[in-house]
Chains A and B, each alone.
Chain A
Amino acid sequence: MIMLPLFALLLGFLIVYILNISLPVGYADYISLIILASLDAIAGGVRARLEGTFDDGIFISGVIFNSMAAVGLAYIGDRMGMSLYLAPVVALGIRIYYNVGRVRRLLMGHAGAAGASPRDSDFERLGC
Protein backbone atom coordinates (compact mmCIF):
# COMPACT_ATOMS: atom_id res chain seq x y z
CA MET A 1 0.00 0.00 0.00
CA ILE A 2 2.88 2.35 0.76
CA MET A 3 4.15 1.88 -2.80
CA LEU A 4 0.84 3.04 -4.26
CA PRO A 5 1.64 6.79 -4.18
CA LEU A 6 5.02 6.13 -5.76
CA PHE A 7 3.42 4.11 -8.55
CA ALA A 8 0.89 6.88 -9.05
CA LEU A 9 3.71 9.42 -9.30
CA LEU A 10 5.49 7.31 -11.91
CA LEU A 11 2.28 6.58 -13.81
CA GLY A 12 1.30 10.26 -13.98
CA PHE A 13 4.79 11.18 -15.11
CA LEU A 14 4.91 8.50 -17.83
CA ILE A 15 1.44 9.27 -19.21
CA VAL A 16 2.17 12.97 -19.72
CA TYR A 17 5.75 12.34 -20.82
CA ILE A 18 4.72 9.83 -23.49
CA LEU A 19 1.83 12.00 -24.69
CA ASN A 20 4.48 14.74 -25.04
CA ILE A 21 2.22 17.47 -23.70
CA SER A 22 3.76 20.88 -23.11
CA LEU A 23 2.59 24.33 -22.07
CA PRO A 24 3.70 27.81 -23.13
CA VAL A 25 6.84 28.86 -21.23
CA GLY A 26 4.93 31.64 -19.52
CA TYR A 27 3.12 29.11 -17.33
CA ALA A 28 6.28 27.26 -16.28
CA ASP A 29 6.74 29.27 -13.08
CA TYR A 30 3.15 28.66 -11.97
CA ILE A 31 3.34 24.91 -12.64
CA SER A 32 6.55 24.79 -10.61
CA LEU A 33 4.77 26.44 -7.70
CA ILE A 34 1.90 23.92 -7.86
CA ILE A 35 4.45 21.08 -7.88
CA LEU A 36 6.20 22.62 -4.89
CA ALA A 37 2.94 23.10 -2.96
CA SER A 38 1.91 19.51 -3.70
CA LEU A 39 5.29 18.12 -2.63
CA ASP A 40 4.95 20.09 0.57
CA ALA A 41 1.47 18.67 1.14
CA ILE A 42 2.69 15.13 0.50
CA ALA A 43 5.57 15.54 2.95
CA GLY A 44 3.16 17.06 5.46
CA GLY A 45 0.66 14.26 4.83
CA VAL A 46 3.22 11.56 5.47
CA ARG A 47 4.29 13.33 8.63
CA ALA A 48 0.71 13.64 9.82
CA ARG A 49 0.11 9.97 9.07
CA LEU A 50 3.14 9.00 11.18
CA GLU A 51 1.96 11.28 13.98
CA GLY A 52 -1.52 9.80 13.69
CA THR A 53 -3.20 13.10 12.93
CA PHE A 54 -3.90 12.63 9.21
CA ASP A 55 -7.17 14.06 7.92
CA ASP A 56 -8.07 13.78 4.23
CA GLY A 57 -10.11 16.96 4.29
CA ILE A 58 -7.20 18.98 5.61
CA PHE A 59 -4.80 17.25 3.24
CA ILE A 60 -6.78 17.85 0.03
CA SER A 61 -7.77 21.39 0.98
CA GLY A 62 -4.11 22.04 1.85
CA VAL A 63 -2.98 20.98 -1.61
CA ILE A 64 -5.59 23.08 -3.38
CA PHE A 65 -5.41 26.20 -1.22
CA ASN A 66 -1.63 26.26 -0.95
CA SER A 67 -1.32 25.88 -4.73
CA MET A 68 -3.87 28.61 -5.32
CA ALA A 69 -2.24 30.92 -2.81
CA ALA A 70 1.22 30.35 -4.30
CA VAL A 71 0.04 30.86 -7.88
CA GLY A 72 -2.06 33.85 -6.88
CA LEU A 73 0.87 35.49 -5.12
CA ALA A 74 3.14 34.81 -8.09
CA TYR A 75 0.54 36.19 -10.50
CA ILE A 76 0.10 39.38 -8.48
CA GLY A 77 3.90 39.66 -8.32
CA ASP A 78 4.10 39.36 -12.11
CA ARG A 79 1.48 42.11 -12.53
CA MET A 80 3.35 44.35 -10.11
CA GLY A 81 6.77 43.61 -11.58
CA MET A 82 7.94 42.15 -8.27
CA SER A 83 9.43 38.69 -7.73
CA LEU A 84 6.66 37.65 -5.33
CA TYR A 85 6.85 34.03 -6.50
CA LEU A 86 9.96 33.78 -4.33
CA ALA A 87 7.81 34.09 -1.21
CA PRO A 88 5.98 30.75 -1.70
CA VAL A 89 9.19 29.14 -2.96
CA VAL A 90 11.00 30.01 0.26
CA ALA A 91 8.06 29.30 2.57
CA LEU A 92 7.22 25.95 0.95
CA GLY A 93 10.89 25.01 0.71
CA ILE A 94 11.39 25.52 4.44
CA ARG A 95 8.22 23.53 5.17
CA ILE A 96 9.30 20.63 2.98
CA TYR A 97 12.61 20.44 4.84
CA TYR A 98 10.82 20.66 8.15
CA ASN A 99 8.30 17.94 7.26
CA VAL A 100 10.93 15.63 5.77
CA GLY A 101 13.04 16.09 8.88
CA ARG A 102 10.07 15.25 11.09
CA VAL A 103 9.30 12.15 9.02
CA ARG A 104 12.92 11.02 9.31
CA ARG A 105 12.94 11.43 13.07
CA LEU A 106 9.52 9.80 13.47
CA LEU A 107 10.66 6.81 11.41
CA MET A 108 13.78 6.51 13.55
CA GLY A 109 11.66 6.65 16.70
CA HIS A 110 13.06 9.91 18.07
CA ALA A 111 9.94 11.96 17.61
CA GLY A 112 10.28 14.00 20.78
CA ALA A 113 14.05 14.23 20.96
CA ALA A 114 15.49 17.70 20.74
CA GLY A 115 18.10 17.53 18.02
CA ALA A 116 20.14 19.93 15.95
CA SER A 117 17.00 20.94 14.01
CA PRO A 118 14.97 23.93 15.13
CA ARG A 119 12.14 23.24 17.50
CA ASP A 120 8.57 22.97 16.23
CA SER A 121 7.66 26.20 17.94
CA ASP A 122 10.21 28.01 15.79
CA PHE A 123 8.32 26.98 12.69
CA GLU A 124 4.97 27.68 14.22
CA ARG A 125 6.09 31.23 14.77
CA LEU A 126 7.08 31.38 11.10
CA GLY A 127 3.52 30.34 10.32
CA CYS A 128 4.48 26.98 8.88
Chain B
Amino acid sequence: MRIKAWSWVGPVTMVCFVVGALLALQFTTQRKTGAASRYGRADVLAQMLAGYKAQVDSQDAEINDLRAKLNEYREASTKNQGVLALLNKQLTQDQMALGLTEVMGPGMVMTLDDSTRATQAGEDKEPYLVHDYDLWPVVNELRSAGAEAIAINDQRVVATTAIRCAGSVFNINNVPVASPFVIKAIGDPGALSGALNIPGGVVEQFRASDFPVKVETRKDITIKAVPVAPSFRFAQPVPPEK
Protein backbone atom coordinates (compact mmCIF):
# COMPACT_ATOMS: atom_id res chain seq x y z
CA MET B 1 0.00 0.00 0.00
CA ARG B 2 2.92 2.30 0.64
CA ILE B 3 3.92 2.36 -3.02
CA LYS B 4 0.34 3.05 -4.11
CA ALA B 5 0.04 5.86 -1.57
CA TRP B 6 2.94 7.72 -3.24
CA SER B 7 2.14 6.84 -6.81
CA TRP B 8 0.51 10.24 -7.36
CA VAL B 9 3.80 12.14 -6.93
CA GLY B 10 5.30 11.07 -10.24
CA PRO B 11 2.53 12.21 -12.60
CA VAL B 12 1.79 15.34 -10.59
CA THR B 13 5.49 16.28 -10.60
CA MET B 14 5.63 15.81 -14.35
CA VAL B 15 2.60 18.00 -14.92
CA CYS B 16 3.92 20.59 -12.47
CA PHE B 17 7.15 20.76 -14.43
CA VAL B 18 5.26 21.36 -17.67
CA VAL B 19 3.05 23.99 -16.04
CA GLY B 20 6.11 25.81 -14.69
CA ALA B 21 7.72 25.78 -18.12
CA LEU B 22 4.52 27.05 -19.78
CA LEU B 23 4.10 29.81 -17.19
CA ALA B 24 7.65 31.00 -17.85
CA LEU B 25 7.00 30.84 -21.59
CA GLN B 26 3.88 32.94 -21.14
CA PHE B 27 5.63 35.48 -18.90
CA THR B 28 8.50 35.87 -21.35
CA THR B 29 6.12 36.25 -24.29
CA GLN B 30 4.04 38.89 -22.52
CA ARG B 31 7.14 40.76 -21.35
CA LYS B 32 8.68 40.86 -24.83
CA THR B 33 5.52 41.86 -26.69
CA GLY B 34 4.61 44.42 -24.03
CA ALA B 35 8.07 45.97 -24.20
CA ALA B 36 8.02 46.02 -27.98
CA SER B 37 4.73 47.86 -28.16
CA ARG B 38 5.69 50.26 -25.37
CA TYR B 39 9.14 51.52 -26.35
CA GLY B 40 10.52 49.82 -29.43
CA ARG B 41 8.28 51.24 -32.10
CA ALA B 42 8.02 54.76 -30.74
CA ASP B 43 11.80 54.94 -30.33
CA VAL B 44 12.50 53.79 -33.85
CA LEU B 45 9.93 56.16 -35.29
CA ALA B 46 11.28 59.09 -33.28
CA GLN B 47 14.78 58.38 -34.57
CA MET B 48 13.54 58.11 -38.14
CA LEU B 49 11.62 61.36 -37.74
CA ALA B 50 14.66 63.20 -36.41
CA GLY B 51 16.72 61.85 -39.29
CA TYR B 52 14.20 62.90 -41.91
CA LYS B 53 13.76 66.32 -40.32
CA ALA B 54 17.48 66.98 -40.52
CA GLN B 55 17.44 65.83 -44.13
CA VAL B 56 14.50 68.10 -45.00
CA ASP B 57 16.13 71.07 -43.25
CA SER B 58 19.35 70.67 -45.15
CA GLN B 59 17.49 70.29 -48.43
CA ASP B 60 15.39 73.37 -47.68
CA ALA B 61 18.55 75.35 -47.07
CA GLU B 62 19.95 74.09 -50.35
CA ILE B 63 16.83 75.07 -52.27
CA ASN B 64 16.91 78.60 -50.86
CA ASP B 65 20.57 78.84 -51.66
CA LEU B 66 20.08 77.73 -55.26
CA ARG B 67 17.12 80.08 -55.78
CA ALA B 68 19.11 83.05 -54.48
CA LYS B 69 21.95 82.16 -56.84
CA LEU B 70 19.57 81.82 -59.77
CA ASN B 71 18.15 85.26 -59.06
CA GLU B 72 21.64 86.73 -58.92
CA TYR B 73 22.58 85.23 -62.26
CA ARG B 74 19.36 86.44 -63.83
CA GLU B 75 19.79 89.97 -62.60
CA ALA B 76 23.41 90.06 -63.65
CA SER B 77 22.65 88.79 -67.13
CA THR B 78 19.68 91.04 -67.80
CA LYS B 79 21.02 94.35 -66.56
CA ASN B 80 20.44 97.07 -69.13
CA GLN B 81 19.04 94.71 -71.73
CA GLY B 82 15.51 95.71 -72.75
CA VAL B 83 13.93 92.47 -73.95
CA LEU B 84 15.57 90.36 -71.29
CA ALA B 85 14.46 92.82 -68.60
CA LEU B 86 10.91 92.48 -69.83
CA LEU B 87 11.18 88.68 -69.85
CA ASN B 88 12.62 88.82 -66.39
CA LYS B 89 9.66 90.82 -65.16
CA GLN B 90 7.30 88.28 -66.69
CA LEU B 91 9.25 85.44 -65.09
CA THR B 92 8.95 87.08 -61.68
CA GLN B 93 5.19 87.39 -62.16
CA ASP B 94 4.87 83.74 -63.12
CA GLN B 95 6.98 82.65 -60.20
CA MET B 96 4.77 84.61 -57.82
CA ALA B 97 1.70 82.97 -59.32
CA LEU B 98 3.27 79.54 -58.86
CA GLY B 99 4.33 80.35 -55.32
CA LEU B 100 8.01 79.94 -56.12
CA THR B 101 9.04 83.22 -54.51
CA GLU B 102 8.60 84.54 -51.01
CA VAL B 103 6.01 87.33 -51.15
CA MET B 104 4.95 90.13 -48.81
CA GLY B 105 2.05 92.53 -48.58
CA PRO B 106 -1.08 93.42 -46.60
CA GLY B 107 -3.57 90.75 -45.68
CA MET B 108 -5.00 88.85 -42.77
CA VAL B 109 -3.99 86.16 -40.31
CA MET B 110 -6.46 83.62 -39.01
CA THR B 111 -5.66 81.41 -36.04
CA LEU B 112 -7.66 78.27 -35.38
CA ASP B 113 -7.35 75.54 -32.77
CA ASP B 114 -9.22 72.42 -31.77
CA SER B 115 -12.48 73.01 -29.91
CA THR B 116 -12.30 73.87 -26.21
CA ARG B 117 -15.60 72.16 -25.58
CA ALA B 118 -15.19 69.44 -22.94
CA THR B 119 -16.27 66.05 -24.21
CA GLN B 120 -18.09 63.56 -22.03
CA ALA B 121 -16.32 60.33 -21.18
CA GLY B 122 -16.81 58.01 -24.12
CA GLU B 123 -18.07 60.80 -26.36
CA ASP B 124 -16.58 60.98 -29.82
CA LYS B 125 -13.89 63.69 -29.92
CA GLU B 126 -13.74 63.80 -33.71
CA PRO B 127 -16.32 66.60 -34.19
CA TYR B 128 -14.23 68.86 -31.93
CA LEU B 129 -10.98 68.54 -33.85
CA VAL B 130 -9.96 70.58 -36.88
CA HIS B 131 -10.13 68.36 -39.95
CA ASP B 132 -8.94 68.75 -43.48
CA TYR B 133 -12.51 69.40 -44.56
CA ASP B 134 -12.68 72.29 -42.08
CA LEU B 135 -9.78 74.03 -43.81
CA TRP B 136 -10.98 73.56 -47.37
CA PRO B 137 -13.81 76.16 -47.06
CA VAL B 138 -11.39 78.62 -45.44
CA VAL B 139 -8.98 78.38 -48.35
CA ASN B 140 -11.89 78.52 -50.75
CA GLU B 141 -13.33 81.69 -49.18
CA LEU B 142 -9.93 83.37 -49.21
CA ARG B 143 -9.34 82.53 -52.85
CA SER B 144 -12.80 83.72 -53.74
CA ALA B 145 -12.11 87.00 -51.91
CA GLY B 146 -9.04 87.56 -54.06
CA ALA B 147 -6.20 86.25 -51.92
CA GLU B 148 -2.96 86.38 -53.88
CA ALA B 149 -0.99 84.10 -51.60
CA ILE B 150 -2.14 81.72 -48.88
CA ALA B 151 -0.16 79.72 -46.36
CA ILE B 152 -1.23 77.32 -43.62
CA ASN B 153 1.36 76.96 -40.85
CA ASP B 154 3.93 78.36 -43.29
CA GLN B 155 3.06 75.84 -45.99
CA ARG B 156 2.24 77.81 -49.13
CA VAL B 157 -1.06 76.77 -50.71
CA VAL B 158 -0.54 76.69 -54.47
CA ALA B 159 -2.35 75.19 -57.44
CA THR B 160 -0.93 71.71 -56.82
CA THR B 161 -1.30 71.77 -53.04
CA ALA B 162 -3.42 69.14 -51.36
CA ILE B 163 -4.72 69.53 -47.81
CA ARG B 164 -5.28 66.05 -46.56
CA CYS B 165 -5.70 64.22 -43.26
CA ALA B 166 -2.88 61.81 -42.49
CA GLY B 167 -3.67 60.22 -39.14
CA SER B 168 -3.50 62.82 -36.40
CA VAL B 169 -1.87 65.46 -38.60
CA PHE B 170 -2.43 66.98 -42.02
CA ASN B 171 -0.22 66.79 -45.00
CA ILE B 172 0.07 70.07 -46.83
CA ASN B 173 2.56 69.94 -49.69
CA ASN B 174 3.40 66.51 -48.25
CA VAL B 175 4.70 68.21 -45.10
CA PRO B 176 2.95 67.24 -41.88
CA VAL B 177 1.31 70.13 -40.01
CA ALA B 178 -0.88 70.02 -36.91
CA SER B 179 -3.16 72.29 -34.91
CA PRO B 180 -3.09 75.09 -33.85
CA PHE B 181 -3.31 76.47 -37.36
CA VAL B 182 -2.13 79.89 -38.52
CA ILE B 183 -3.58 80.72 -41.91
CA LYS B 184 -2.04 83.72 -43.62
CA ALA B 185 -3.32 85.35 -46.76
CA ILE B 186 -2.11 88.32 -48.76
CA GLY B 187 -4.76 90.43 -50.44
CA ASP B 188 -7.24 93.19 -49.61
CA PRO B 189 -7.38 92.87 -45.79
CA GLY B 190 -10.99 94.05 -45.55
CA ALA B 191 -12.21 91.75 -48.30
CA LEU B 192 -10.37 88.74 -46.89
CA SER B 193 -11.51 89.12 -43.28
CA GLY B 194 -14.99 90.06 -44.46
CA ALA B 195 -15.25 86.89 -46.52
CA LEU B 196 -14.44 84.77 -43.48
CA ASN B 197 -16.64 86.75 -41.08
CA ILE B 198 -19.85 86.87 -43.12
CA PRO B 199 -22.93 85.65 -41.20
CA GLY B 200 -23.19 81.90 -41.51
CA GLY B 201 -19.64 81.82 -42.84
CA VAL B 202 -16.70 79.72 -41.77
CA VAL B 203 -15.77 81.75 -38.67
CA GLU B 204 -19.31 81.65 -37.35
CA GLN B 205 -19.45 77.92 -37.88
CA PHE B 206 -16.21 77.39 -35.99
CA ARG B 207 -17.43 79.61 -33.13
CA ALA B 208 -20.70 77.66 -32.91
CA SER B 209 -18.67 74.58 -31.93
CA ASP B 210 -16.33 76.47 -29.58
CA PHE B 211 -13.29 76.35 -31.82
CA PRO B 212 -10.96 79.19 -30.75
CA VAL B 213 -10.78 81.25 -33.94
CA LYS B 214 -9.40 84.74 -34.52
CA VAL B 215 -9.13 86.81 -37.69
CA GLU B 216 -6.80 89.80 -37.71
CA THR B 217 -5.97 92.15 -40.55
CA ARG B 218 -2.29 93.01 -40.94
CA LYS B 219 -0.43 95.61 -42.92
CA ASP B 220 2.56 93.46 -43.58
CA ILE B 221 2.58 89.73 -44.01
CA THR B 222 5.36 87.58 -45.42
CA ILE B 223 4.51 84.25 -46.99
CA LYS B 224 7.22 81.75 -47.84
CA ALA B 225 7.66 80.02 -51.17
CA VAL B 226 6.59 76.40 -51.71
CA PRO B 227 9.32 74.04 -50.57
CA VAL B 228 9.50 72.19 -53.86
CA ALA B 229 8.38 73.42 -57.26
CA PRO B 230 5.78 71.17 -58.90
CA SER B 231 7.26 68.93 -61.57
CA PHE B 232 5.31 67.75 -64.59
CA ARG B 233 5.65 64.12 -65.51
CA PHE B 234 2.52 63.72 -67.60
CA ALA B 235 1.28 67.11 -68.71
CA GLN B 236 3.01 68.93 -71.55
CA PRO B 237 2.11 72.08 -73.41
CA VAL B 238 0.00 71.74 -76.55
CA PRO B 239 1.93 73.22 -79.51
CA PRO B 240 0.21 76.35 -80.89
CA GLU B 241 -1.81 75.78 -84.08
CA LYS B 242 -0.56 77.52 -87.16
Contacts and interface: CB of A to CB of B under 8 A. Distances in A.
Interface of A: 1-2, 4-6, 8-17, 20-25, 27-28, 31-32, 34-35, 38-39, 41-42, 45-46, 48-49, 54, 56, 59-60, 63
11 contacts: A8-B20, A12-B18, A12-B21, A13-B21, A13-B23, A15-B24, A16-B24, A34-B22, A38-B15, A49-B8, A59-B8
Given A5-B13, A9-B19, A39-B19, 18 more contacts: A1-B6, A6-B16, A8-B17, A8-B20, A11-B20, A13-B20, A16-B20, A16-B28, A22-B25, A22-B28, A25-B33, A32-B26, A38-B19, A38-B22, A42-B12, A46-B12, A48-B8, A56-B10
A13 B26 CA distance: 10
B9 interface: yes
Question: What secondary structure prevails in chain A residues at the interface with B?
Answer: helix
Contacts of B9: 1-2, 4-5
A45 B8 contact: yes
Interface centre among A10, A22, A28 (most CB of B within 10 A): A22
A14 B21 CA distance: 8
Nearest to B21: A12
B16 A42 contact: yes
Given A16-B28, A23-B25, A23-B29, A9 B10 contact: no
Question: What secondary structure prevails in chain B residues at the interface with A?
Answer: helix
A63 B15 contact: yes
B81 to A, nearest CB: 72
B28 A45 contact: no
Contacts of B21: 12-13, 15-16
